[in-house]
Amino acid sequence: MAETSFTLNTGGKIPALGLGTWQSKAGEVEKAVEYAISVGYRHIDTAYAYGNEEEVGKGLKKAFEAGVKREDVFVTTKLWSTYHKRVQENIEISLEKLGLDYVDLYLMHWPVAMNTNGNHPLFPTTPDGSRDVDFSRHHVDTYLNMEKLLHTGKVKAIGVCNYSVMYLEQLLARASIVPAVNQIENHPLLPQDDVSDFCKAKGIHITAYSPLGSTGSPLLTLPAVQQIATKHSVSPASVLLSYHTERGHSVLAKSVTPTRIMANRQMTKLDTADMEVLAQISSGGNLKRHGNPPWKVNLGFPDQQHVKYLS
């Protein structure tokens, strides 16, 4: 494995590979977390919005009972959009569900607030059926409230997700604490070099999500990925995950399947030629973003400039 962990701007370490839990179903995720930790994972990613923090917490508890120390597991959870005006409340609910005193990383899930008192606790809608966005709440004000959590000991580090360069510039202009992490969709069909370079210059670590292309892992069949896998006698998944460690990013791979959880631990030392082949996949604007919720808001990503926004 090229790197087993990266150092954050807090001085803390983030393990290079984390277990993703988005869409991991009830009845499956507790076992997935317990199994992953038993085979060496030390980084678990969840979120209030995933609705599985309680079960993730049960998996963590089993791992601790088996002798793994709390301080050796890096746990991330995320502030949901309907809680942008209730930051303290949302972390307390998450900690209660997880059965933890603190999380290692607390991330703003999206830089868009939704109506706190809308028609649904997670995904409120307006009468036309679109997302009930709270345009009165600026994402930087939410982040400033997250900064205050650092003094409570309930979070060891704070950061953001889904931040473009434009949003990061807005945030850094007013923040006292540089985010430790920006968690973004990242893979050879969405390299986001602009965000990666900007974060590197500012000391913000990137964690890549949807490295396999999310549900159904469509990127495993990319010919260039398969060709590199054959060259190194490894799986395509290993190539797609190792792409991030080579870039200095940590990576989250979701699976509830024990054989895949185990297999995804295998990292491959990719060479310069491999990285060049992987970089070529997106050349000529051949980009694919899998996570594209209908926010009605311009998030500032260059690949989304064709989208029509209401605001």
Ligand X SMILES: O=C[C@H](O)[C@@H](O)[C@@H](O)[C@H](O)C(=O)O
Q: Which residues are annotated as a binding site for substrate?
A: 109
H-state helical runs in the chain: 29-38, 53-65, 87-98, 139-149, 165-174, 193-202, 223-232, 236-247, 258-263, 272-280
Binding mask 41-80 for ligand X (x = CB under 6 A): ------x-x-------------------------------
Integer Cα distance of 198 and 185 in angstroms: 15
Quick one: 149 or 261, whose CB is closer to ligand NDP?
261
Element of type H or E holding 257? none
Q: Which of 8, 10, 22, 208 binds ligand X (CB under 6 A)?
A: 22
50 catalytic residue (yes or no): yes
Enumerate residues 6+ apart whose C-beta is below 8 A from 129: none
- Which of ligand NDP, ligand X, none sits in contact with 195, Cβ below 5 to 8 A by type? none
Residue number, nearest CB to ligand X: 293
Give, in order, the Cα–Cα distances in Å from 226 to each of 192, 220, 276.
Answer: 22, 7, 15
- Which of ligand NDP, ligand X, none sits in contact with 164, Cβ below 5 to 8 A by type? none
Q: Does 118 bind ligand X (CB under 6 A)?
A: no
DSSP 166: H
Quick one: 82 or 235, whose CB is closer to ligand X?
82
Quick one: 171 or 273, whose CB is closer to ligand NDP?
171
- Which of ligand X, ligand NDP, none sits in contact with 207, Cβ below 5 to 8 A by type? none
Q: Does 297 bind ligand X (CB under 6 A)?
A: no
Q: Which of residues 214-233 bind ligand X (CB under 6 A)?
A: none
Q: To the nearest whole angstrom, how small is the minimum distance from the Cβ of residue 86 to ligand X?
A: 18
Give, in order, the Cα–Cα distances in Å from 200 to each of 53, 194, 197, 217, 247.
Answer: 30, 10, 5, 28, 10
Integer Cα distance of 92 and 83 in angstroms: 12
| Catalytic member of 50, 163, 167, 243 | 50
Quick one: 262 or 272, whose CB is closer to ligand NDP?
262
Integer Cα distance of 237 and 233 in angstroms: 12
Binding residues for ligand X, per CB under 6 A? 22, 47, 49, 291, 293
